[in-house]
Structure 1
Amino acid sequence: MTTATKSAYPVPVDDLLPQARQLSEDLGEVPSRNRLMSELRIGAKKANTLLDLLGTSTAQASPSLHLVSAADSQGAADEPTQPLAEDHDTEQIPEPEPVESGTADADEPEHPAPHSARESVGSEQVSVHASPEPSPVGRPVPRWPVLLLALPAFVAIWSGWVGLGGLTGFGIVHPLPGIWSGFEVNTAITLPIGVETYAAYALRVWLSGRVPYRARRFAKISALGSLGLGALGQIAYHLMTAAGMTTAPWWITTVVACLPVAVLGMGAALTHLLHTDPPEVSP
């Protein structure tokens, strides 16, 4: 029976393997882990590595010996490991022992590659977005009720603006003097046509959702402003009529006189934004 040469440095597994084989031949079987640790003065990790190498070599030489050694090693693994009385003056075994790369790789758990995981997640997302569920298509909502609702509102708004125009100085003019002297136009109709038509147009642009962002934002602000201004005009006309006034105050006349110019500016600005802005629908 041979023992390992005492040294102050750990002996590699390749140098210990011939001694372990010699010990196995002397015993007539594969030694246990504790026997290897005691005879060769090595740690548990090196003993397990030597057992694996001895089991592989003996299995190739004699299958029956491999079976016996496996059972012995299993029984030895169940036995409690006793601490070894080592001569620390002559030999120092640092812990932990270096392990071969193959054994370390075998002990590490297998993890899926992150690249493959990203590919699987990406393929699932692509499949989800590539095949969306078809949205249910219903019957279109008829538009004729809107016309029925707008007719009385149009009559009331028209009469209110024309009446307010008469109170603020709007009246009959001859646009073609000397050419068609009999042609007359009441300028009061410019108020309902300009203010209310622009309000409806800007409201349509705002709610369509198919125009550039700046144009939609401008349409929203100007549409709400036009509708609010129209409501104030109707209020002013009815209050002055109820009070028996035949002429509007100067500040109401000033605001009403500026309405055609304001409508022209807002319409031109909205048209400019619709045709010159980038095609982005959202900011």
Structure 2
Amino acid sequence: MSTLVRTTYPVPIEDLIPAARQLAADLGVVPSRNRIMKEFRIGAEKARVVLNALNEPTPAPAEPHLRSVPNPVEIEHSDSPDEMPPAPKGAEASPQVAAPVDLGTATQTTPIGDSPAVVPTTGRPVRSWPVLLLALPAFVAVWSGWVGLGTLTGFGVVHPLPGIADGFTINSAITLPIGVETYAAFALRVWLSGKVPAAARRFAKWSALSALVLGALGQVAYHLLEAAGVVRAPWQITTVVACLPVAVLGMGAALAHLIHARPNQNAEK
């Protein structure tokens, strides 16, 4: 993807806006301000002006107005202007094109005289702090479940630095909740952000759902084994759990690559 802008410095805004629109068409989404700054090597203020121009709705072109033209023969044989054939009803009326309305803000219609007026209204933003209250009990349950399942499948205390720090130990079971649940939250954020290429958003969607389902199955497996008094998980569960750190690493690296990939890198050669 090549961006066509004039090589003079500084680059005028009128040259940057068409190039930014072409970049948005190649990406499939409106690029962020940082992406515009990096792509065109401009400052934050000029990038903000370009981004505002990209976010402005484009008004729909007005339909061409067609008028009825009388037959030349009838004009030639008419004796006076009063005998001219009347124009069709409504021919002189021009179509009225409504002004574009920003769908990002709520609107309410307030009658003023005989014509309604659209008055934009803004509400309070939705607070996200309740998510922390939801996350605390979920964190305790998920963490204990994954660590318990890891203990049943062979994860345990290890010495990660033998010969360097022999007294330093760590329980390798903590890699399960950190890897699986962190990736699920990250992929979910990428999917719902709407600011990444289509390929990255598609991969984030399916991998996030898969990670959430896998996390739920891990919790179910641990509680079933614990309720049955099993001290060693079956080999099928052990095999799946042992592969989780490697799978999470691969999905995370793939998603990071797709987020920063150019559109032409995803095209088939």
Q: CA deviation at 1:144?
A: 2.3
Aligned counterpart for 2:77 among listed residues 103, 123, 126: 103
Would the alpha carbon gap of residues 147 and 100 (structure 1) be closer, same or farther in structure 2, given more than 3 Å must change? closer
- Which structure features the higher share of helix residues? 1
Q: CA deviation at 1:271?
A: 0.9
Q: Which residue of 1 aligns with 2:161?
A: 176
Q: Is the 8 A contact 1:176 1:183 kept in 2?
A: yes
User: What per-residue deviation string (whole Å, max 9, x for no partner) do you get for residues 77-105 of structure 1?
Assistant: xxxxxxxxxxxxxxxxxxxxxx687128x
Q: Which residue of 2 aligns with 1:194?
A: 179
Q: CA deviation at 1:107?
A: 6.5
What is the RMSD computed on CA atoms of the aligned residues? Answer: 2.8
What are the ranges of 5 or more consecutive residues in structure 2 without an aligned counterpart? Answer: 1-72, 107-120, 265-269
| Percent identity of paired positions between Structure 1 and Structure 2 | 68
- Trace 1:22-171 onto structure 2 (pairs within 5 A): 102-103=76-77, 110=87, 121=95, 124-125=96-97, 127-129=98-100, 132=102, 135=106, 136-171=121-156
Whichever residue aligns with residue 230 of structure 2, its letter is M
Q: Is the 8 A contact 2:149 2:218 kept in 1?
A: yes
User: What per-residue deviation string (whole Å, max 9, x for no partner) do you get for residues 191-220 of structure 1?
Assistant: 000000111111111112222222111111
What is the TM-score with the length of structure 2 in the denominator? 0.58
Whichever residue aligns with residue 128 of structure 1, its letter is A
Rounded to whole Å, the distance in 2 between the matches of 1:101 and 1:137 is 58
User: What per-residue deviation string (whole Å, max 9, x for no partner) do you get for residues 216-255 of structure 1?
Assistant: 1111111111010000001101111111111111111110
Q: Is the 8 A contact 2:75 2:84 kept in 1?
A: no
Rounded to whole Å, the distance in 1 between the matches of 2:172 and 2:77 is 99
Rounded to whole Å, the distance in 1 between the matches of 2:254 and 2:139 is 26
Aligned length: 174
What is the TM-score with the length of structure 1 in the denominator? 0.55
What are the ranges of 5 or more consecutive residues in structure 1 without an aligned counterpart? Answer: 1-98
| Larger RCO (CA under 8 A, 6+ residues apart) | 2
